[in-house]
Structure 1
Amino acid sequence: MSQQHTSTATPLWWRVGRVLLLLLLLAGGIVGFKAWQILWKPNVAASAFGPAYLYIRTGASYQAVLDSLEKHELLRDPETFRQVAQWRDYPAHVRPGRYLLTPELGNSALVDKLTQGPQDTVAFTLDAFKYKPQLVRQVARQLEADSAQLRRLLNDNGLLLRRYHLDTTTILTMFLPGPYKFEWNTSATQFLDSAAAMHQRFWTPQRRQRADSLGLSPTQVHVLASIVQRETSEPTDKPIIAGVYLNRLKRGMRLQADPTLLWAIGNFGVKRVLNKDKLVDSPYNTYKHKGLPPGPITSANRSSLNAVLKPAAHKYYFFCARPDRSGFSDFAETYADHKRNARKYQHTLDSLKILR
């Protein structure tokens, strides 16, 4: 009997189809890998100097952004970023700000961040300052706010009166030293408005009522607190010194505050006030003029303001730095006692040969 054999050979069409499928999968894999590289592969250059930030100024062009990215070497592959930016129409949606660039960001995520995401805010501490230029320099170091515009605003008496109810002298009472947080592209006007809002929040109804009970306006509290702050950095002495000055004001005595003389002569490095300093022709000379000076001699911090709002109750009218130069003061009810304390302090300065 003959045996019939069945052929098991794979049809040609199947073999060709399988090859084509493999080629298509390979091509798709290559395309997908290239897409991953262009869109999602991390493309921010690692920095050995801490976080990397991209600063985009107000009104900056797309080309300016590219120039900044390349100048500071923030990208591993600038060309792929340009491709994605064009695909996503980023050139028409450039937004100013300060943006934190972390190493895991790919081009797609980076474009999203620059067009939609919130910018990274700037947190800084505003240090106490005595003069407007010191304030302007601090702000200009941290924010995009134009320093020339900020100077103009701080000296525009009409605008300050209309907008903040303060003049070119008392405007310095509006700024509280301490922590601030802003978007980097904050303008000069926005900075002033934010400072005014913080000042408003500080002056709660309770604090305003307390100031009123002392016979002071909020601005006068700031001015007196600025003197207290220049007199001492010791928290326990601040309410006592505030009480001394309030006692003198109530009695109609001149404040005779040395720090106001130093502000008038423009030299806070003086260790020894001389009689000739007391002759300076200035409304800040509280040896000549009764009452508070027209403005603050430094930006008062919260502890100094609270010391004025909650002064120590006592009968002191005088105080003098202790001869041990500890930063604390000796207080006196009578001028005779004060003279004795002052002589001890002057003797210390003499022994240290401190003439000025």
Structure 2
Amino acid sequence: MKIKKILTIVAVAGLFIAAGVTAYVYNKAFTPNTTFNQKEVFVYIPTNATYEMVQQELAPFVKDMSKFDFVASKRSYDVNVKSGKFLLTQNMTSFDMIRAMRRNIPVKVAFNNQESLGKLAERMASQLEPDSVALYVSFTNEPFLKENGFTEENILAMFIPNTYEFYWDVNSNKLADKMAKEYKKFWNHERLEKAAAKGLTPIEVSVLASIVHKETAKVDERATVAGVYLNRLKTGMPLQADPTIIFAIKKETGDFDQIIKRVYHNDLKIKSPYNTYVNTGLPPGPIAMPDISAIDAVLNAEKHDYIYFCASPEKPGYHAFASNYAEHQVNARKYAAWVNKLGINR
């Protein structure tokens, strides 16, 4: 009788202890433990981060760090930290947060209209963990350039403006490899055939497209402008593209942030492979990152006999085209008078 009573007492005590342990664990792991008012916040954990670094990063968002530590220890997160971008939502429990800290969220990386590889690296670095120096080094690594058929002068052509998905903590070399694959995907059979029909390589198309892109912001005019430049290339005439002079000045000075609104006669004498008034053919690389509409404008260039064009004062943003020099001179004088009247200078 006494034994049965003792066993009953022990069993009841065990239930109370189990209930207490359950309540303790529940309180630690399964009660809301966030302290932010937003619906969601993103947390960025760098590569090779320690658990202490995670604690510092999470401190503004976690109400009771001891509860988080408890679950982290039980789930072995404290010895297996993951780097990346992570999503926390309001009123998450410690258990939920640990689970969320193992789900790396992809980042949508967008870029366009960059005038140099350095500017592109800065743009991408603002959206990802690798800094601009690491990205630039990966993009200009000699084996990488050789493997993909580029040079440091024309590597900008590899980057097709678009939105791409990466993990925030992506390795810079892997990012470069991914962009090379995207470039090859963009240059499908149809585009390659069109380029070949014009006697151009994909890189040469991008170089010309960069000039077309800078020459006119009007998408509906780009195929016409592209046709002019192709006509000049066929006849061996210098491209005589003002945007290449502007690029040459910026490259020579190392200042890609300066704004140049007008090209003067003396500017045309600048010694640079990008000076298309002095040199025939295409410059050695893109003068900016052409968007897809500019690339396709070159591939689908309008067939006409125009050789000259200049900005149109009657239709701002567009150009006046001419088949001969006399006609072009008339257009050019109209434009010069309009510019002088406005007092536009550099």
1:105 and 2:92 matched: yes
Aligned residue number for residue 44 of structure 1:
34
Aligned residue number for residue 75 of structure 1:
62
Cα distance, 1:39 vs structure 2: 1.3
Amino acid at match of 2:127: Q
1:277 corresponds, among 267, 274, 283, to 267
TM-score, L = length of structure 2? 0.91
Cα distance, 1:348 vs structure 2: 0.9
Amino acid at match of 1:126: F
2:209 corresponds, among 215, 218, 225, to 225
**Partners of 2:41 and 2:89 within 8 A in 1:** yes
Alpha-carbon separation, structure 1, partners of 2:150 and 2:228: 27
Cα distance, 1:19 vs structure 2: 9.6
1:310 and 2:295 matched: no
Alignment of 1:116-135 (within 5 A): 118-135=103-120
**Partners of 1:147 and 1:188 within 8 A in 2:** no
Aligned residue number for residue 194 of structure 2:
210
Q: Secondary structure at the match of 2:305?
A: coil
Q: Which runs of 5+ in 1 are unaligned?
A: 1-12
Cα distance, 1:293 vs structure 2: 0.4
**Partners of 2:139 and 2:145 within 8 A in 1:** no
Q: Secondary structure at the match of 1:142?
A: coil
Cα distance, 1:18 vs structure 2: 9.9
**Partners of 1:98 and 1:184 within 8 A in 2:** yes
Aligned residue number for residue 86 of structure 1:
73
1:63 and 2:48 matched: no
**Partners of 1:160 and 1:167 within 8 A in 2:** no
2:137 corresponds, among 152, 155, 169, to 152
Map Cα deviations across residues 253-300 of structure 1 (whole Å, 9 max, x no partner): 110000000000116622221110100000000000000000000011
Amino acid at match of 1:107: S
1:253 and 2:237 matched: yes
**Partners of 2:36 and 2:90 within 8 A in 1:** yes
Cα distance, 1:103 vs structure 2: 1.7
Map Cα deviations across residues 129-185 of structure 1 (whole Å, 9 max, x no partner): 1112211111111111133222223343x2233332111111110011121211000
Alpha-carbon separation, structure 2, partners of 1:295 and 1:162: 16
Alpha-carbon separation, structure 2, partners of 1:132 and 1:51: 34
Alpha-carbon separation, structure 1, partners of 2:133 and 2:248: 25
Alpha-carbon separation, structure 2, partners of 1:309 and 1:45: 55
**Partners of 2:29 and 2:93 within 8 A in 1:** yes
Aligned residue number for residue 332 of structure 2:
342
Alpha-carbon separation, structure 2, partners of 1:333 and 1:43: 73
1:177 and 2:161 matched: yes
Alpha-carbon separation, structure 2, partners of 1:51 and 1:166: 43
Q: Secondary structure at the match of 1:161?
A: helix
Alignment of 1:181-192 (within 5 A): 181-192=165-176
Cα distance, 1:91 vs structure 2: 2.0
**Partners of 1:126 and 1:177 within 8 A in 2:** yes
Amino acid at match of 2:146: R
Alpha-carbon separation, structure 2, partners of 1:198 and 1:163: 15
2:285 corresponds, among 267, 270, 295, to 295
Quote the RMSD (CA, aligned, Å): 2.4
Amino acid at match of 2:126: R
Q: Secondary structure at the match of 1:236?
A: helix
* More displaced 10-residue stretch of structure 1: 59-68 or 222-231: 59-68
Alignment of 1:7-46 (within 5 A): 28-46=18-36
TM-score, L = length of structure 1? 0.88
Q: Which runs of 5+ in 2 are unaligned?
A: 251-255
Identity over the aligned pairs, expressed in percent? 35
Q: Secondary structure at the match of 1:54?
A: strand
Map Cα deviations across residues 234-265 of structure 1 (whole Å, 9 max, x no partner): 11100000001001111111100000000001
